[in-house]
Amino acid sequence: MLLCSHSIAGKYPHPKKREATMTVRAKFVCNFIQKASDDSHRTIHMAPVISDTEENKAWSKYTPGGLLQMHISNPAAFEQFEQGKEYFIDIQPAE
């Protein structure tokens, strides 16, 4: 990616090239969804996929273990998760 600046009297003579940022991709399965007693939020419990298909066995070779828990209070967000469904999780630096 190239970042270009408009130069004023040569103040910024050359655009600077930014380094490519590596993204880590993992494949997780939603093991279970825990509802709050007052239904105000959900806790999503996820773990890396490890079996069933050749693709999943390939993922588990590089992400053999881990846990992800998210406490979500936005109904539109927590309704996106289903127990037993697999999800890709992309991780990259926040800029």
pLDDT tens track of the chain, all 95 residues?
A: 233 333 333 344 445 555 677 888 888 999 999 999 999 999 999 998 887 788 877 777 776 788 999 999 999 999 999 999 999 999 899 87
Q: Radius of gyration (Cα) for the chain, nearest Å? A: 20
pTM: 0.69
Task: For the chain, report the end-to-end CA distance as a whole number of angstroms.
Answer: 14
Beta strands in the chain (DSSP E): 2-3, 16-17, 24-35, 42-48, 68-72, 86-91
What residue ranges do the domains of the chain occupy?
24-91
CA–CA separation, 78 and 67 (whole Å): 18
